[in-house]
Amino acid sequence: MKNPDTLSTTRRDALKGGLGAASLAALGARAAVPATVATAAAAVTAGTALGQEAPASSATVTQPATGIDMHPGYARTIAQMAYVWGWPIVNMINRRARITQAPHPGLLGGILPAAPRGQIGMLHDYIEPSQTFIACPNQDVVYGLGFFSLDEEPVVIQVPDFGDRFWVYALYDARTDQFGHLGKPYGSRPGFYLLAGPRWSGLKPNGITEVFRSPTTLGNAIPRVFMDDTPEDRKAIQAVINQVVVYPLKDFTGTMKTIEWDR
């Protein structure tokens, strides 16, 4: 019988308990999480990323009942669940903070797409093995990456004509859950698509093909465009990916913008 004071959570246990698959990245094969978790600062930041208002003071938060001894095993389990639930949100906040420090769209360290908040960076070739931002990247696509604060600043995503190529723009919220369907598998057409947050109350502008709403104010886009491993296709793809551009709605003009990503 397991000692309740030394409980550990496995990925199988988490799945059986109904935890989100994206949150499982927080766990190793047999990783135990400390029962004492410092959450105050992370909770305020995470609330902002989720599009929720932070509590005005501790007095507005329901406090535990007094005079009750909580079983150590129960307390540890609740702490583990809170850690696993919150880890993806904190991870996304940290990634956004790093990537959006770029002064303009380009490459971080010469290998990783980076851009200011509300924009996107694109590779012009396969991702380098030396990067550590993505754990298991695809080996046959050209990647892009961008982070957004969608209630403050909805963004326009350009989709050029990719022809017969496979392409997909994966859209993620602060919890790393995917939302929206934008890509060849979904029959998406070339054009302009708007990404907005849960509290954005504007109207769909003329020229916008479709509006995707993120469940959280923090949004993330990762385009993937297939490329053959040949010199000919490396050359042919450049004109297409140069039109994979994202920018704030205020900069939308109805015409395709271009950035030469190999420069």
- Can you name the residues that pair with 47 across neighbouring β-strands? none
**Structural fold of domain 104-251:** Immunoglobulin-like (2.60.40)
Name the amino acid, one letter, at 261. W
Q: Band of the pLDDT at 70, cuts 50, 70, 90?
A: confident
Q: How far is CA 80 from CA 6, 21, 42, 248, in A?
A: 12, 15, 15, 38
The ranges assigned to domains in the chain are 4-98, 104-251
Q: What is the per-residue pLDDT across 150-175, written as a single tens digit (0 to 9) for each?
A: 988 999 999 999 999 999 999 999 99
pLDDT tens column, 12-68: 444 444 444 334 333 433 334 333 334 444 454 566 677 655 555 667 888 878 888
- pLDDT tens, residue by residue, 101-133: 999 999 988 899 999 999 999 999 999 988 888
- Taking every pair of Cα atoms in the chain, the longest distance, rounded to a whole number of angstroms, is 73
Residue-level pLDDT at 46: 65
Instruction: Give the pair of three-digit tokens for residue 225.
Output: 């465009």
What pTM did the predictor assign?
0.76
